[in-house]
Structures are given as C-alpha cells and as structure tokens.
Amino acid sequence: MGRRLARIYPLYFLLCLATYYAFWRANHFLPHHFFFSLTLTQAFFSDAKYAGIAQAWTLTVEESFYLLAPIAFWLLRRRVPLWVQPFALLGVGLLLVLMLSPVGAHTYGFLGSFRLMLLFSIFGRGFEFYAGMQLARWYQQGRLRRYQQPAFLTLLGSGLIIAALSGMVWTKGGYTYGQEHAFGVALNNVVLPGGIIMLFAGLLTEPTWLRYLLSTRIFQILGKSSYAFYLIHLGSVRDWLALHLTPHNGLLFIVLNLLAIGLHYVIEEPLNRWLRPAVATVRSV
C-alpha cells in the first residue's frame, strides 16, 4: 500500500493543487471537495465523486482495494475462495447503502445510492480486482492453459470486451451511459473484466502480434507514462491546452501524451525514487 501511494500520490497531489488553484481563481473552490480529493475519498460521496480531477474517482476504488487486500489474502488462507469474496463485498455495500442513504442529504451523499455503490465503489466493482488476483495466482502457479488454436485467449478476450461494450451501448435506453442500466451494471462490472482477464491471459501465454507490439520501446514508454496521461487527459490541463494551443482532438492527444511522458520522467519517477526509501523505512518499523 505504501509503495503504491509513493508512486501515484505525489503527481496526483501536485496536479490536484493546480486544479483547485484554477477553481479558486474562477470562484469555484469548495473546501470539502478539496479535502475529499486530497484524501482520495471523493468517490464515496454522490456530491463529490467528480470533484477536482474528475477521473480520479477511480483512485478511490483502487486504494480501497489495496486497503482490503490483506483481508482478502487472510480469507484466502482460511479457504474462502476468491470468487466468493466479491459477492460478500457486494452484500456489505448493499447493507451500507440501506443504512446510510436516509441520511445522505447531511453527509454529501456518502454511499447514498445503489448506483453510486455499484459504479463508484469497491463494493460494486470488486469483481474486476478479484479477477485480477485470480489471474495472478493462476499465472504464478503455472495453471494458465495454452491452447492449440493460435491467439485463442487473445481473440476470445477481445471479442468479449467488444460484446460487453456493445451490450452497454444497446442497453443504454434513457440513461446517460449504458452501465447505469441494471443489465449494463452486470456487463460493466462482471462481463467486461472477464474479457479483460482473458485478454491479459492471452498476452501472458500467446506469441501474438499484439504482444509483440506492446513490448516495443514506444509502447513501453507510453505504458510507463499512462498514469500521468490518465490524470491530464480530462480536466484543467486538457482544457487549457484546448483553449491556448489547439482544439483539435487528434493534436491534443499527441500533445497530452508528450506532456505525460515528460511528467513521468521529470516528476513522477524521480519523486517515487526519492520516497521509496522512506516508505521502506516505515514498513520496517
């Protein structure tokens, strides 16, 4: 957990300060949003889930998983299968919403709806993390099957991803996004991660052109800088570039990737190297 925070938090913190400074200049600064953003808890609150760097709500889910991971491994050692645990987590989430939704108006909407719990919290999105844990265990144990058909898992995973995304578009109905529909929630939280895990299994075991492409130097660099890109591809940085440099989405994509690479090598990676010994010292105490 400490090592993960040492990697993701410094750059996030700096960009968060810059974002809220822009909000303050525009008279849009909200102290409680600032607090939720700094503590990576914004996705627990209906009123603040898109606070600050809007896409950073996913960090709430991710860090929640890292906090729960020791419990997951403890349960696994006591023969509670990984596939059972996300259902238990979902049950806890349902109970919390039933208890907290009546007072949501006084708590900024803290776990105030089933939609929030299912789409924006670890209680609803635990399936994808546990699927990743299962894949890692199978890979470490040498249990990933190699099929005779070329690129079988890669193609099957890609097909399942396309099917899940198409299904969410098809079920969108009157909702803003397809995953807000009940069937879309199942597609987004269960079927889509299943496709991604199959694709990853294929990348681990099958010598495909996609595996080769992702192993090239340019994609390795893009992969390392992907976190910085994730933080800036929406929000104040992107808006400033669109206003002052170019509104063209294709050019913006290139500029944002170049900026993300610079942020990774100039800020993210040096700060991580600087903080790593301190984290190791704290862990050893």
Q: Which residues pair with 45 in a beta bridge?
A: 110
What does the DSSP assignment read for 80-134? --TTTHHHHHHHHHHHHHHHHGGGGGGTTTBT-SHHHHHHHSHHHHHHHHHHHHH
For the whole model, what pTM was predicted?
0.90
- Which run of H or of E encompasses 261? helix 249-263
Query: Per-residue pLDDT tens for 69-84?
Result: 999 999 999 999 999 9
Q: What pLDDT does residue 4 have?
A: 81
d(CA 264, CA 275): 15
Q: Tell me what the mean pLDDT of segment 249-270 comes to.
A: 96
Domain definitions of the chain by residue range: 57-142, 144-215
What is the structure's pLDDT at 1?
A: 64
3-state SS class at 40: coil
pLDDT for 199 equals: 96
Strand partners, 110: 45
CB atoms within 10 A of CB 242: 15
| pLDDT at residue 55 tops 80 | yes
Average pLDDT of the segment spanning 128-132: 93
Structure confidence by residue, pLDDT tens digits, 185-219: 999 999 999 999 999 999 999 999 999 999 999 99
Percent of the chain with pLDDT over 90: 81
User: What single-letter amino acid sits at 238?
Assistant: R
Q: Which two tokens stand for residue 88?
A: 């238990």
Pairwise CA distance, residues 233 & 131, whole Å = 27
**CA 102-107-111 angle, 5° bins:** 65
The answer to whether residue 180 scores a pLDDT higher than 70 is yes
Report which of 236, 234, 271 is spatially closest to residue 249, judged by C-alpha positions: 234
pLDDT band at 279 (very low <50, low <70, confident <90, very high): low
Q: Tell me how far CA of residue 228 lies from CA of 51, 157, 179, in angstroms.
A: 18, 27, 26
